[in-house]
């Protein structure tokens, strides 16, 4: 049973990305310098790549294989909500 993720006090703006992105599975996460690349396999089988630039910090634990419920835009940071209720945050 997954725990409950705790988001910062950032204000929710909306969901971003193509509809095919939501409910996809995280295939790979690569981080270097100030850039993070996340590959997500959509239900259609297509692999989509999300690039985060200007990243200061990444907090995650073995995200490969996790369900990506949504990619949301917040006033202060972008967050990936994974299927077990945790949030993987990329602070920009």
pLDDT tens per residue, range 43-87: 889 999 999 888 888 888 889 999 998 888 877 655 565 656 555
CB atoms within 10 A of CB 64: 11
Contact between 77 and 91 (Cβ < 8 Å): yes
Output the pTM of the full model: 0.68
The answer, yes or no, to whether residue 90 has pLDDT greater than 80, is: no
Inside any domain, residue 22: yes
For range 20-45, the mean pLDDT: 91
The answer, yes or no, to whether residue 88 has pLDDT greater than 70, is: no
Contact between 38 and 50 (Cβ < 8 Å): yes
Inside any domain, residue 3: no
Question: How many CA atoms, within 13 angstroms, populate the side-chain half-sphere of residue 57?
Answer: 4
Inside any domain, residue 24: yes
For range 27-35, the mean pLDDT: 91
| Whole-number Cα distances in Å, 1 to 8, 11, 58, 84 | 22, 27, 24, 7
Domain assignment of residue 76, given as a range:
12-91
Inside any domain, residue 68: yes
Task: Quote the CA–CA distance of 11 and 37 in Å, as a whole number.
Answer: 24
When divided into structural domains, the chain yields a total of: 1
């Amino acid at each position: 049973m997954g725990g409950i993720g705790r988001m910062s006090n950032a204000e929710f703006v909306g969901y971003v990305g193509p509809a095919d992105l939501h409910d996809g599975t995280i295939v790979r996460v690569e981080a270097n310098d100030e850039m993070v690349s996340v590959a997500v396999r959509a239900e259609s089988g297509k692999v989509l790549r999300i690039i985060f630039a200007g990243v200061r910090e990444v907090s995650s634990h073995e995200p490969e294989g996790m369900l990506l419920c949504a990619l949301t835009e917040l006033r202060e940071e972008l967050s990936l909500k994974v299927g077990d209720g945790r949030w993987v945050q990329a602070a920009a």
